[in-house]
Amino acid sequence: MKQSPKYKVLITGAAGFIGFHVAKQLLEENHFCVGIDNLNDYYDKRLKLNRTKILQKNKNYKFFKIDLSKKKQLNILSKYKFDFVINLAAQAGVRYAFKNPDSYIKSNVVGFTNLISFIKDNNIKKLIFASTSSVYGDIKTFPWSESDKINSPLTIYSSSKIFNENLAYSYSKYYNIQCLGLRFFTVYGEFGRPDMSIYNFTKNILENKPITIFNNGNHMRDFTHVDIIKDIFSQLITKQKINNVFKKNNFEVLNIAGGNKIKLLDLVLLIEKYCKKKAKKIFLGMQVGDIEKTQADIRKLKKFKLIKKNIKISTGVKRFVNWYKKYAV
């Protein structure tokens, strides 16, 4: 006898990189998931459509093409009576913000405001939403802690995410909604975004095209494999550890990282190793909005016993290169 689904979960940005992996994990754990996405053309739509096709093979998955910036489009979702909302919809990308600032206001500010209003109006009591390591700006002391003041954003993207955190805090106070913000640190893995460094470098190396390396390869990043994130959502929702997070307050933020910091030039060496090809390198200096180093303090994540696995950067890069060779569009 088949079990009925455990929880009803709304996942925004479900055709995106992290959204796809989280939805797939929760479906495998027998939750009913409704995914929404506007399927924009920030990068090749074929990747988003391929992710969606995989999810739609599960009978407990429903997909709607919805633009969060258009509030009325959300009305069709009211009938589902969700237990959780996971907001992974956003206009991503740091450098893209300087060319298209309006898209960040539309998606990350207007869209998030409409979503949290929908949550309030439909009496949904749990929201988990994506924030970013970019909220720390150019803080010079490491590792970055959730208790650090986030008052020096360097881009519209990071400003929009600070707005999300502040708005969620207000709603947690006034409307008794439990809100958990996850500050992701450089997420990578299979089905990743084409604008991210590991995807871009792998693609160009295999196609014998040059790769552009900013800050002369001296950037240091705290990389987080998407499997870590999948497992954290499993801990929060399926194993209900979200209740431990909200024992004292209705609002919390957590750094999400794997403790795999690596210099950009060393990352390139790893990709070359698994591609079995040398890269043609173009070295450039620091770019506007760039941060030289990121490093997360994940003591709070460990305190709540949410991180159960880690994936070495060498293992993660090898897996990604193998996936790219087989599946990339």
Q: What is the DSSP string of 190-203?
A: TT--TTSHHHHHHH
The reply to whether 284 falls in a domain is: no
pLDDT score at 189: 97
Question: Is residue 68 in a domain?
Answer: yes
CATH code at position 247: 3.40.50.720
Give the range of the structural domain holding residue 68, as residue numbers without chain letter: 8-192+222-260+295-311
Cis peptide leading into residue 5 (ω within 30°): no
Phi, psi of 256 (to 5 degrees): -115, 105
211 within domain boundaries: no
Q: What is the C-alpha separation between 61 and 35, in angstroms, rounded?
A: 7
Residue 198 lies in a domain: no
User: CB atoms < 10 A from the CB of 74, how many?
Assistant: 22
pLDDT of residue 39: 94
pLDDT at res. 277: 96
Residue 46's CB is within 10 A of a number of other CB atoms, namely 10
The answer to whether 266 and 313 have CB atoms below 8 angstroms apart is no
Spot the catalytic one: 42, 157, 171, 274.
157
Report helix, strand or coil for 2: coil
* Beta strand segments in the chain, E: 8-12, 32-37, 61-65, 84-87, 126-132, 178-184, 187-188, 211-213, 220-225, 251-256, 260-263, 281-283
| pLDDT at residue 138, as a whole number | 87
The answer to whether the beta carbons of residues 214 and 249 sit under 8 Å apart is no
Could you list the pLDDT tens digit for every one of the 329 residues in the chain? Answer: 456 679 999 999 999 999 999 999 999 999 999 999 999 988 888 999 999 999 999 999 999 999 999 999 999 999 999 999 999 998 877 777 777 888 899 999 999 999 999 999 999 999 999 999 999 998 999 999 999 999 989 989 999 999 999 999 999 999 999 999 999 999 999 999 999 999 999 999 999 999 999 999 999 999 999 999 999 999 999 999 999 999 999 999 999 998 889 999 999 999 999 999 999 999 999 988 788 999 999 999 999 999 887 899 999 999 999 999 998 64
Overall domain count for the chain: 1
Instruction: Reply yes or no on whether 174 is catalytic.
Output: no
pTM for this entry: 0.96
Q: Rg (Cα) of the chain, in Å, rounded?
A: 19
Closest residue by Cα to residue 103 from 116, 117, 93, 115: 93
